[in-house]
Amino acid sequence: MIKNIYNLGDAALYCDFGDTVNKETNLKVINYFNDIRKKNITGIKNIAPSYNKLIIYFDLELTNFKKIKDVVRNLDISTFEAAKTKVVKIPVCFDDEFALDLERVEKRLSLSKKEIVNQLISQKYFCYMTGFIAGMPFLGDIEEKIRLDRLETPRVKVPKGSVGITEQFCNIYTFESPGGWNIIGNSPKKVFTKDPTKLTLIDPGDEVEFFEISKKEYSKLNEQK
């Protein structure tokens, strides 16, 4: 349920689903997102779901905070349909060339590269949200033993395709971007497709499975150029 609704500026509604970040809370956010999107409510221009928040942007010329708040408050959640989700398999190369922070990660976690990689590819991850840069998935939760903090000084340029871990999450940098996650591999897959009918390979609510590929396979599959 939505715990609180605030205004974010004069043209957005900020729905707070509580402090905890877990799959259960996030699925509620995603269900609200899907339902509101489906309803095509007058004046709503954009909706941004995240771990435990939903921000709804509206056109101040057509509606206002009070009106949209009433609409959202009165949504009948019993009619919400469960989100259609899928499992997405993502190839990752963990070659030293791509694993920019492996040394730091090995040291911090007191684990070998093989142990870290095997742990990462041993389970499926839930996609909480996509964004920051176009199509970038925030995936979780990774096993306790491979969790660590962000880099003290973020990188100015994280290479496109980089696979990173931080805290309980992992992600894929869909574009070259500044960033502070620990980079341990790189995927040749174009996760943000630029195909207008299907912009992203991974959507909120989906499950993602990583599988290891060699450098040779990486060059063959490379779509990042």
Residues lying near other proteins in the complex (CB under 8 A) are found at 6-12, 14, 19, 21, 33, 37, 45-55, 57, 60-61, 64-65, 129-136, 138, 174-175, 177, 192, 194, 196, 199-200, 203-204
With respect to other proteins, which residue has the nearer C-beta, 30 or 116?
30
Closest CA to 183 of 207, 148, 220, 131: 148
> In this structure, what token pair is assigned to residue 186?
């790189």
Q: How many CA atoms lie within 13 Å of 106's alpha carbon, on the beta-carbon side? A: 12
With respect to other proteins, which residue has the nearer C-beta, 169 or 218?
169
Strands 87-93 and 207-213: parallel
- The least distance separating other proteins from the CB of residue 138, rounded to whole angstroms, comes to 7
- The least distance separating other proteins from the CB of residue 71, rounded to whole angstroms, comes to 17
- The least distance separating other proteins from the CB of residue 102, rounded to whole angstroms, comes to 24
Reported residue count of the chain is 225
Closest CA to 36 of 75, 63, 64: 75
DSSP 16: E
Beta-strand ranges (E) seen in the chain are 4-7, 12-16, 44-49, 53-58, 87-93, 124-130, 137-140, 155-158, 162-166, 169-172, 177-179, 182-186, 192-195, 198-200, 207-213
- The least distance separating other proteins from the CB of residue 26, rounded to whole angstroms, comes to 11
With respect to other proteins, which residue has the nearer C-beta, 34 or 186?
34
Collapse the DSSP code of 4 into the 3-class scheme (helix H, G, I; strand E, B; otherwise coil) and give the result: strand
With respect to other proteins, which residue has the nearer C-beta, 22 or 119?
22
Contact at 8 Å (CB) between 45 and 58? yes
With respect to other proteins, which residue has the nearer C-beta, 28 or 117?
28
- The least distance separating other proteins from the CB of residue 172, rounded to whole angstroms, comes to 12
With respect to other proteins, which residue has the nearer C-beta, 2 or 60?
60
- The least distance separating other proteins from the CB of residue 94, rounded to whole angstroms, comes to 25
